[in-house]
Chain A
Amino acid sequence: SAVISQKPSRDICQRGTSLTIQCQVDSQVTMMFWYRQQPGQSLTLIATANQGSEATYESGFVIDKFPISRPNLTFSTLTVSNMSPEDSSIYLCSVEGDREGGYGYTFGSGTRLTVV
């Protein structure tokens, strides 16, 4: 299965600032997914990032708040803009594995963001 490197692993940020999270995959993948896991809650999909096209955002998430880049088939970034304490969460990237190989979806180790 794919190996994902995500950074930073954690950060403490001031409100009103922005943080960019990077996700690097060791193989080429068509789609990359960005999730948010708020404290004590499950994972919620923010957006799907395809190389060469704009990301597709889920209901409740907008590009101005969570701009995404996908410059090639192995890399993506998610920016959390104009942060407020409500943005304090774990952010994870994910890729779809080889279905025939039974790998399912693989996740990065997550970025734990605290906004103060």
Chain B
Amino acid sequence: AQRVTQPEKLLSVFKGAPVELKCNYSYSGSPELFWYVQYSRQRLQLLLRHISRESIKGFTADLNKGETSFHLKKPFAQEEDSAMYYCALTGTGGGNKLTFGTGTQLKVEL
């Protein structure tokens, strides 16, 4: 069975402070990991995926297979980063379902 765990329901940081949203996963094969973001009153959208190894809006995430983690990081939080963040997992090879974590609400305070 595949499972995604996001231990924090709410993370509150000050503007300019570093951000780390935790994500751990359980999967028997070779996973693909994603971070999705949902801003207020907007649709769910892809933020980044581990395969592309890119930085989007200053966010990065590294897949650590030893620790089965895919934490989302940003060195300096901005007010516009306030949103709901979901970590998600699927298997490689296409045609697989996407399993979501419970989400972390990030609140960036001034």
| Chain B CB within 10 A, most for which of A33, A92, A105, A108 | A105
Distance in angstroms between the alpha carbons of A31 and B94 in the assembled complex: 10
A-chain residues with CB within 8 Å of residue B43 when the two chains form the complex: 107-110
In contact, A45 and B98 (Cβ under 8 angstroms): yes
Residue A30, interface by CB 8 Å:
yes
Interface size class of B (residues with CB under 8 A): 20 to 34
The CA of A103 and the CA of B54, in the complex, are separated in Å by 12
Q: How many residues of A contact B (CB 8 A)?
A: 25
Name B's interface SS: loop
The answer to whether A94 and B98 touch across the interface, beta carbons within 8 angstroms, is yes
Per-residue CB proximity of B41-52 to A under 8 Å, as 1/0?
A: 001111001011
Selecting from B20-28, B63-71, B75-83, B99-107, the interface stretch reads B99-107
What is the chain B residue whose CB lies nearest that of A106?
B46
Which chain A residues border B34 with CB–CB below 8 Å?
104-105
A104 and B95 contact, Cβ closer than 8 Å, known pairs A42-B101, A43-B100: no
Judge whether B97 and A33 touch: CB under 8 Å.
yes
In the complex, are the beta carbons of A92 and B94 less than 8 A apart?
no
| Partner pick for A41 among B52, B88, B102, CB 8 A cutoff | B102
Known: A42-B100, A42-B103, A102-B51. A107 touches B95 (CB 8 A): no
| Contacts A102-B49, A104-B46, A108-B43 given; does A43 touch B95 at CB 8 Å | no
A42 touches B95 (CB 8 A): no
> What is A's interface to B at a CB cutoff of 8 Å?
1, 30-31, 33, 41-45, 48, 58, 92, 94, 96-97, 99, 102-110
Interface pairs A-B: 10 shortest CB-CB: A104-B46, A102-B52, A107-B44, A109-B43, A42-B102, A43-B100, A42-B100, A104-B49, A45-B97, A42-B103
Please give 11 more A-B residue pairs, beta carbons under 8 A apart, in addition to A30-B95, A42-B102, A107-B45: A31-B95, A42-B101, A42-B103, A45-B98, A97-B46, A99-B94, A104-B34, A104-B46, A105-B90, A105-B98, A110-B43
